[in-house]
A = this chain, B = another copy of it.
């Protein structure tokens, strides 16, 4: 009964399936894992170091891909802030269950906050953008929050054909820029990462700047702060940030090379379909549907 330990194979992991004598009618089904294992090299892309952040914690490295196509001004500031070491020595000061972790400088008094150096003190809201010059890999599945969902350059996204606008979707691992009540009050110093159920109600209400592609398990386990907001009352609960650096500022030998499955690849489409309509032995009833935030975005170390 060793299968006992195989129960609940993850939608997010390349779980090993139990060996099974394939039934004739299922002989053509390939699991997402099998599709990925057989995927050609060109279906994968390398992370661009100029577009990659390393959030260095005592527990390890969290790797973030930035989204300049959606938030050019915020990403510009983030690059400057990282290059100048703004976050080094600051902390993760918020962890709210089923919501977000947040980091930066929590000092309330503006005059006492860490200097933003040569970053811009004021940025526009970048909640959505024109869709017509974006390559949008449409997911055929319905979505309650937006007319259409899919992926742009590997990021979960949505668009509205009527308005011609596109925006990034808030899913697990989404990185956004905290703001006050004014829509244009984010300056990209205070960043949050989604650690729970996709809070899609935030879509088009706040600027999304990227996505954690590796290391979520270092953020998602942080002790929760007190309700309702999860801001730690005790600074001893802060998680220190050793550094946030652009990968391009890191010596090549210290970088973490990663490949991401292209969301416009056949392998991605096929793996998503294999998850939408599972025919592996464990599943009794294929869902016939997948939510944009349930689609795994595979990451791997490059083959040597």
Contacts and interface: CB of A to CB of B under 8 A. Distances in A.
A30 interface: no
Contact of A224 (B108, B192, B220): B220
A115 interface: no
A207 to B, nearest CB: 11
Interface stretch (A2-10, A40-48, A248-256): A2-10
Contacts of A10: 96, 99, 228-230
Contacts of A179: 7
18 contacts: A1-B180, A7-B179, A8-B99, A8-B206, A8-B229, A9-B228, A10-B228, A97-B220, A127-B284, A141-B144, A171-B197, A195-B220, A196-B196, A196-B197, A198-B294, A204-B285, A205-B282, A221-B221
Interface of A: prevailing SS: loop
A27 interface: no
Contacts of A106: 4-5
Interface of A: 1-16, 18, 96-100, 102, 106, 108-110, 125, 127, 141-145, 171-173, 178-181, 183, 190, 192, 195-206, 216-217, 220-224, 227-231, 275, 278, 281-285, 287, 289-291, 293-294
Contacts of A144: 141-144, 289-291
A192 B8 contact: yes
B216 A97 contact: yes
Contacts of A195: 220
Contact of A198 (B8, B109, B197, B231): B197
Which of A108, A171, A206, A221 has the largest number of chain B CB atoms within 10 A? A221
Contacts of A14: 227-228
Contacts of A141: 144
Contacts of A203: 287
A197 B108 contact: no
